[in-house]
């Protein structure tokens, strides 16, 4: 049972435009969400996160939006740069003292010059 779903395996955008990566979840006990970025031959690196009590968090070119009623979150990258080309993983943490993260399958973003 996949509790965190990234339904788009890949996304291609032009440099300078907006990239929108989507993530859906099924477990209403998730209380914290994170996005990780992964380049080839490297481990995932933390990008941005959001608590379930918020609906938006912004960090430079990256903004994460959370719609709890729809159990949906999205990552916006504006403007997109070729260096943003990577696999992006959505992750979620259950509430309480459990710090385990559940990851989606990832979306490969390609930003074309």
Partner 1 sequence: DSGVTQTPKHLITATGQRVTLRCSPRSGDLSVYWYQQSLDQGLQFLIQYYNGEERAKGNILERFSAQQFPDLHSELNLSSLELGDSALYFCASSVDSGTSYGYTFGSGTRLTVV
Q: Is 45 in the site for partner 1 (CB under 8 A)?
A: yes
Q: How far is 69 from 56, CA to CA, in rounded Å?
A: 14
Q: Is 42 in the site for partner 1 (CB under 8 A)?
A: yes
Full strand arrangement of the beta sheet holding 56-59: 4-5, 19-25, 72-77, 62-67, 56-59
Q: Which stretch binds partner 1 (CB under 8 A): 18-26, 65-73, 75-83, 104-112?
A: 104-112
Q: Which stretch binds partner 1 (CB under 8 A): 22-30, 44-52, 60-68, 70-78?
A: 44-52
Cα 101 to its chain centre, rounded Å, is 13
Q: Measured from the CB atom, is 13 or 92 closer to partner 1?
A: 92
């Amino acid at each position: 049972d996949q509790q965190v779903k990234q339904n788009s395996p890949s996304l291609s955008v032009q440099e300078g435009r907006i990239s929108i990566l989507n993530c859906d979840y099924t477990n209403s006990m998730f209380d914290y969400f994170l996005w990780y970025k992964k380049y080839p031959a490297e481990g995932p690196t933390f990008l941005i996160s959001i608590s379930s009590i918020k609906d938006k968090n912004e960090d430079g070119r990256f903004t994460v939006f959370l719609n709890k009623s729809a159990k949906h979150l999205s990552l916006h990258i504006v403007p997109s740069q070729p260096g943003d080309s990577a696999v992006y993983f959505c992750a979620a943490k259950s509430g309480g003292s459990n710090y385990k993260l559940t990851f989606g399958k990832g979306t490969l973003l390609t930003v074309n010059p």
